[in-house]
Amino acid sequence: MIDINILRKNPELVKENIKKKFQNEKLVLVEEVLKLDNEWKKIKYDEDQLRSKRNKISNEINKNKKEKKDVSGLLKEAKKIPEEIEKLEQKRIELEEKIKGIMMTIPNFIHESVPIGKDDSENKEIEKFGEPIVPNFEIINHAQLAEESKGADFDSARETSGNGFYYLTGDFALLHSAMLAFARDYMIKQGFEYVIPPFMIRKKVVEGVMSFKEMDNMMYKIEGEDLYLIGTSEHSMIGRFIGKTLLSKNLPITLTSYSPCFRKEIGSHGIEEKGFYRLHQFEKQEMIVICEPEDSYKWYDKMLHFTVDVFRQLNVPVRTLECCSGDLADLKAKSADVEAWSPRQKKYFEVGSCSNLTDAQARRLNIRIEGKGKIYFAHTLNNTVLASPRALIALLENNQQKDKSIKIPEVLWPYMLGKKVINKKE
């Protein structure tokens, strides 16, 4: 959510940003907010005038009582004012809710470095890390490999839960957990505090951390309760600071969290396919930063580097992509995807995303900083350290040997009960 003062002073700037995000249908919202805002200002003025009048009459009543003058007329006049104030106050609150609802659909200002484009097909490659090798033998599809090796059971999961679920077993389950444990320990070594957050959050938190469109497409609601299953632990991690004023001297706050993630994946292709790529349930190690506004882009670069480094230590070549304006969710000012190389498909696929939301989430959740003699909104960032099983796909393909065995990256040996190779035929 942007600062309404910017919209008041420079509505054309807000419109230009909307156009850059190819959301022209939202241009009318700027004028709608200005109209409602003018109504709000008039009501607020009348309300303030009535309060001032009430105080003035109250002083006159006290003065006349001391002078033993008749105050019956003043008392009669004063009696009407609270009712009038209450009516205006109710109208003002209703207008504030309308304005807030519209403001929450107007996109955040994109960073000047963001390339202008309609959708993800116009995202720009930033840099490649590692050589994208295609071996001289066939790379087996991850789902086929896992099933043949008794490492996954998709059919039973379909019976118990439907499409988009899986059972992981044996060494494949161990490898999955090893990657998450390595990602957790890696982030702790970077100075991030490890947290296991709630896996369900209230609607006020959901509305604070994401756009309404994202919420409808992603979140599962618990029937009969004000609770939603998280789509990523970033939601509850940022929500932890709702309504709080943080001291500048205690910033930045750097946290890394583990959680299962639950997503509807409405409109997504591939949910019917057998495998790990698109799922209703997966597990993830996440990182978030809450910091001073002037530091957020420094943290953005650091956080993106962390994810790249994690995958390189897993022997997975990756590249980073700058998300164009049309591919940015409404709250994001700048975002980059991390994509892993698939030697089987001979192309990259998304395994993580790093985002700077500037003060958009903080405004919605009222997360402020006290420092420099003033109080102001914080900046929030989030980034995927490692999400499995997508990371598992990348590892299985890039570490697969000719005999279909999987060479375990050295960094995972301590988490694999000493195993350095799995699925090796005796």
Supply the pLDDT for residue 266: 57
What is the chain's alpha carbon radius of gyration, rounded to the nearest angstrom?
A: 27
Domain membership flag for residue 112 = no
Q: Check pLDDT > 80 for residue 272.
A: no
Domain membership flag for residue 111 = no
Residues 162 and 269 in one domain: yes
Domain end position, chosen among 103, 136, 158: 103
As a whole number of angstroms, the distance between CA 365 and CA 119 comes to: 28
Residues 64 and 139 in one domain: no
Residues 230 and 366 in one domain: yes
- Mean pLDDT throughout 156-169? 93
Supply the pLDDT for residue 267: 53
**Residue 9: CATH number of its domain:** 1.10.287.40
Residues 125 and 99 in one domain: no
More confident residue, 39 or 372: 39
- pLDDT tens readout for residues 364-399: 999 999 998 999 999 999 999 999 889 999 999 999
> What is the chain's mean pLDDT, rounded?
94
- pLDDT tens readout for residues 48-95: 999 999 888 888 888 888 888 888 888 888 888 988 999 999 999 999
Domain span at 37: 4-103
Task: Look at the block and give the residue holding tokens 């070594």.
Answer: 189
Supply the pLDDT for residue 413: 97
Domain membership flag for residue 108 = no
pTM for this prediction: 0.90
Residues 200 and 277 in one domain: yes
DSSP H helical ranges for 212-268: 212-218, 233-239
Residues 302 and 382 in one domain: yes
Residues 55 and 153 in one domain: no
Residues 75 and 175 in one domain: no
For residue 341, the cross-strand partners are 348
As a whole number of angstroms, the distance between CA 214 and CA 263 comes to: 10
Contact 142, 276 (CB under 8 A): yes
Residues 134 and 88 in one domain: no
Tokens of 425: 């035929």
Q: What's the structural domain count of the chain?
A: 2
Name the 3-class secondary structure at 88. Answer: helix
Domain membership flag for residue 50 = yes
Supply the pLDDT for residue 425: 73
Residues 280 and 169 in one domain: yes
Supply the pLDDT for residue 213: 78
